[in-house]
């Protein structure tokens, strides 16, 4: 990767690291490359629902953070059109969740992504999503 491309990638990642919601949750952006992103998050007591399990909204949010980063990884502004999620296993206090989003199709301005959220220790699937985005003509950085 050329120095110019590396600088651009760093500027894109720095822009995404300012995400107020992700920072509020304490999510960690572990990797971002074209069409792919990986985030992690430790489940804290305030992230549990009234059943004592990880709240579905938190699981969705972590996957959405990865989706947003993967979708915007090219530096072009991308916004969600639709996200569908299937919860397959309950999360629990103290576990580290890992979310990965990967582009599976790009057709013009429309992109399709697969998103998985898993237990970072066991690798067990917690949730799986499919998401669609629209890439605007704007760029994230100058």
- pLDDT tens track for 85-132: 999 999 999 999 999 999 999 888 999 999 999 999 999 999 999 999
Using a pLDDT cut of 70, give the percent of the chain over it.
98
Distance CA 113, CA 134 (A): 11
Q: Write down the pLDDT at residue 10.
A: 87
The pLDDT, as a whole number, for residue 141 is 83
Domain 3-139 has CATH 3.10.129.10: yes
End-to-end CA gap in the chain: 19
Q: Taking the model in full, what pTM does it have?
A: 0.93
- Burial class from Cβ neighbours inside 10 Å (0-12, 13-18, 19+) for residue 39 reads buried
Question: pLDDT tier at 45 (50, 70, 90 boundaries)?
Answer: very high
Rounding to the nearest 10 degrees, give the CA dihedral for residues 71, 73, 77, 81.
0
Taking 90 as the threshold, does the pLDDT of residue 80 lie above it?
yes
Pairwise CA distance, residues 43 & 66, whole Å: 17
The widest CA-to-CA distance across the chain, in whole angstroms, is 51
Give the three-state DSSP class for 123: coil
Other CB atoms within 10 A of residue 51 CB: 8
The ranges assigned to domains in the chain are: 3-139
């Amino acid at each position: 990767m050329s120095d110019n491309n590396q600088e651009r990638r760093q500027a894109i990642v720095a822009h995404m690291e300012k995400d107020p919601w992700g920072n509020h949750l304490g999510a960690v952006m572990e990797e971002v490359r074209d069409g792919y992103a990986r985030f992690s998050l430790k489940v804290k007591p305030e992230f549990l629902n009234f059943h004592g399990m990880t709240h579905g909204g938190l699981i969705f949010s972590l996957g959405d953070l990865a989706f947003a980063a993967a979708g915007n990884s090219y530096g072009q502004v991308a916004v969600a059109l639709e996200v569908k999620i299937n919860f397959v296993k309950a999360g629990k206090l103290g576990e580290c969740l890992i979310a990965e989003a990967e582009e599976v199709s790009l057709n013009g301005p429309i992109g399709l992504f697969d998103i998985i959220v898993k237990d970072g220790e066991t690798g067990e699937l917690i949730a799986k999503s499919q998401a669609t985005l629209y890439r605007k003509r704007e760029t994230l950085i100058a």
